[in-house]
A and B are shown apart, each in its own frame.
Chain A
Amino acid sequence: MEKLDAQSALAAAVEEVLETMCFTLLLSSSALSGPEAAVPGAGFSNPVTAVLQFEGSPSGEFRLSVPLTVARGVGSGFLGREPGEVSDCQAGEVVCELANMFCGSVLSRLEAETIFHLSHPELAHPELAHPELAHPELAHPELAHPELAHPELAHPELMPAVPAPDGNAVSRLFELEDGFFAASLQFRLVS
């Protein structure tokens, strides 16, 4: 599987879901690499992270990490409420539902003829499980990624392929009006 294909599929799936279901415009997105890609969003402030497994060909894991304030903003679009009316619990449920839709949409773009079985998304807190990956600078990704300020990068299909951490994962950082969130797709190696 070409990494660039998976990157493009991830970018397109996220954009489609946000616009269609949350009435939210994606401002830009960029591929992540290095430690950031290993656990995307590990350094976000107060992140809501949903993880689900998918079985099929290929199999693997999908991870979505959204700062709580951003999750409330996206949730307000999804639920038709003001951000202040979206509870922490509802923000978590919206992130889980988004993870489900993002993953399903990505996989169908990659393998249209394959039936995948998706597990129920579970909330997780990767920065607690991997404290060494909680880089403070990632709480402000715009500082770590000045290239996001360049409008030409709002078109992910034009971006060059960025090496994945182990060659079997793709990770992206997404920018909304309220802030940033991250998603990754980790494919399981078949021996």
Chain B
Amino acid sequence: MELNVLIVDDSPVMRSFIRRVLDLSGLGIGHCLEAANGEEALILLNANWVDVVLTDINMPVMDGEELLRRMSGHDVLRSIPVVVVSTDRTECRIQKMLSLGAKEYVTKPFSPETLREKLERSLGVFRSPEVFHGEA
């Protein structure tokens, strides 16, 4: 089963970097969608099946915090695991994002191994047989 991923970051080069790391991760990436902010991400999420979302926090138009709030308040989108990728490594920020529904938190800079590990952990929660295959 290939994973469909949504990368949300206002930096095109950061999206490219994450995409490259995913391609090299061996995780079996299917479609890799990209959005420059939370608003674009919600449009894509409402039109496409996505297995996991990787999002930055500090973005124009709609930031990562608001994206998490909107997803958490949505009947379907709330089940999609979200991994936050941010330069902010303060504990209170990490706890806030986790309390809003993020499954994992990766601080920039990060190694490809770290991103893969966090992704696997987030998907491990989601990809239990009842939940993951039951959605198909």
Question: From residue 73 to 114 of chain B, which have CB atoms closer than 8 A to chain A?
Answer: 86-93, 108-111
Cβ–Cβ contact B90 & A114, under 8 A = yes
> Taking CB as reference atom, which chain B residue is nearest A118?
B58
- Chain A residues within 8 Å of B16, by CB: 79
| A93-B12, A120-B10 given; A21·B88 CB < 8 A | no
Taking the nearest CB of chain A, how far is it from the CB of B116, in angstroms? 14
Q: Is B28 part of the contact surface with A, judged by Cβ < 8 Å? A: no
Q: Is B14 part of the contact surface with A, judged by Cβ < 8 Å? A: yes
Contacting residue for B17 out of A16, A78, A112, CB 8 A: A78
Question: From residue 109 to 127 of chain A, which have CB atoms closer than 8 A to chain B?
Answer: 112-118, 120
A74 to B109, CA, bound (A): 15
A16 to B109, CA, bound (A): 7
- Chain B residues within 8 Å of A112, by CB: 89-91
Question: From residue 27 to 62 of chain B, which have CB atoms closer than 8 A to chain A?
Answer: 58, 60
| A20-B109, A108-B90 given; A90·B13 CB < 8 A | yes
Taking the nearest CB of chain B, how far is it from the CB of A65, in angstroms? 18
- Chain B residues within 8 Å of A75, by CB: 13
Interface 9-mer from A37-45, A97-105, A161-169, A183-191 = A97-105
Taking the nearest CB of chain A, how far is it from the CB of B10, in angstroms? 7
Cβ–Cβ contact B17 & A100, under 8 A = no
Taking the nearest CB of chain A, how far is it from the CB of B84, in angstroms? 13
- Chain A residues within 8 Å of B91, by CB: 112-113
10 pairs from A and B in contact (CB 8 Å cutoff): A21-B110, A79-B16, A80-B20, A100-B11, A100-B108, A103-B87, A105-B89, A113-B91, A113-B92, A115-B88
B residues within 8 Å of A by Cβ? 10-14, 16-17, 20, 58, 60, 86-93, 108-111
